Amino acid sequence: MGESGRSTRWAGLIPAGYSAVLTTLITGPLLGSGYLLLRDAVSTPRSYLTDSALGLGDAAPRAVPQDALLAALSPIVDGGLLVKAILIVALWAAGYGAAVLARELLAVSLGPQLVATTLTLWNPFVAERLLQGHWSLLAGYAALPWTALAAYRLRSAISPGRRYSAVAAWGALAGCLAAAGLTPTGSLLAGCVALLTVGRRNLPGTLVLLVAASAPWLAATALSGAGAEPSDSTGVAAFAARAEPGLGTLGSLAGLGGIWNADAVPDSRTTPIALVATILLLAVVASGIRSVLTAVPEDRAGLHVRRTLFALAVAVVVVPALASTGWGMEVMRWLVVEIPGAGLLRDTQKYVALAVPAFALCAAAGCRALAARIAARTTKPTENQEFSGGGSAAIPVAVLFAVLLVAPLLDLAFGVGGSVRPVHYPLGWQRVAEKIDAPGDVAVLPGGMF
């Protein structure tokens, strides 16, 4: 292997390593022994294939096939370890996927790729969903950049240049949709990206893959009849996106925050720092919008994907903001009452995840554009300075952008300020488990959801 080949290989490994470093900084406490037990995240040593795990109970199958997967694997691998491993791998994959997406859709150098990784991992959405215990939702989040990349490669496979194999592209897309299908919401997120970006010719095949990846929860919904029941309309107001200090609802969503649960928010987002963080985030994103929406020579497939992702980002910020208004909530109440399965749409803020791939691309493009302008002052401008790498200025600018993104949200580090940490169950847990591990019914009092 020549010198250039080795350098290219190392350049490809650096974003993966950088994503691993950021993921470790975020999830550090979870590397120790114990179980994730925080709000919606409940991990135990062993899970079982009950009707609820299969989505055949009275409740809507919102955790299918997630719970069935844990039930199938926990006899082999401790359930607590499985949950932590899935979460950590998902965050790493999200960050690395953003770097690869920026490299292929924008042809950016290493510095801008690292900026894309930073924005994807170090943002309020990740912090708030960690605090809410939505580890499986973050698995769907991780699939988004890879889904967009698979769609791009699929479109490129039928282009005159044929840069990629169509078979490999279809396989990658199937894998992305399967990984995102750990929960119904993940399927919706990845499916939305896939259907909007693959192009008309690939829509039928993509739809078949999406239905296949969603089959576990679609079948459970049909067999249990839960999908035919209307959702509780009172949950619309409870799950509406929430305004953060000095931002309003629209500003909170644009800053990738605004989760409905005020208790699942890092401390920095409850102060005026949230406003500063949002201004800096949007400034970084805005710096690259022009480049993202401008055609790269001989890459019509990439232009379509980039523009589609940007339009989607605008939509998933504006629509949830409108849904949190008085008339917007009335529309949502009508939807969840009249349309079966529309209860999945109540937590509108989680769909802001769809904005992150475009935000990451814009941040990477902005880094390259600023580096190119700095380089142009010291060197002779090239014919296409807009799409040059920016030379030696790219890394310093990338460091600057990373600081602007990380500094206002320092409390994301170490398990969001230590809140996301493993717990150890007392000895009484095992004693009770042994007593009820026998045929017969078990009553849990007082009655209700736990």
CB 101 within 8 A of CB 148: yes
Please tell me the distance from the alpha carbon of residue 12 to that of residue 110, in angstroms, as a whole number. 8
Residue 123 lies in a domain: yes
pLDDT score for 295? 67
- Contacts of 137 by beta carbon, 8 Å cutoff, 6+ apart: 129, 183, 185, 186, 350, 353
pLDDT score for 439? 74
Taking Cα atoms as reference points, which of 357, 305, 281, 287 lies closest to residue 116?
A: 357
pLDDT score for 85? 97
Number of domains in the chain: 1
CB 368 within 8 A of CB 112: yes
Residue 45 phi, psi dihedral angles, 5° rounding: -60, -35
Measured from the Cβ of residue 150, the count of other Cβ atoms closer than 10 Å reads 28
pLDDT score for 296? 67
DSSP state of 244: B
Residue 67 phi, psi dihedral angles, 5° rounding: -65, -35
Please tell me the distance from the alpha carbon of residue 298 to that of residue 302, in angstroms, as a whole number. 9
Q: pLDDT below 50 — which residues of the chain?
A: 1, 3-4, 383-388
Measured from the Cβ of residue 194, the count of other Cβ atoms closer than 10 Å reads 27
Residue 446 lies in a domain: no
pLDDT score for 407? 97
pLDDT in tens, 173-231: 999 999 999 999 999 999 999 999 999 999 999 999 999 999 999 998 888 776 666 67
Residue 50 lies in a domain: yes
Residue 442 lies in a domain: no
The domain in which residue 259 lies consists of: 11-436
pLDDT in tens, 129-158: 999 999 999 999 999 999 999 999 999 876
The pTM (predicted TM-score) of the whole model is 0.93
pLDDT score for 386? 47
Residue 194 lies in a domain: yes
Residue 441 lies in a domain: no
Cis peptide before 65 (omega within 30 of 0): yes
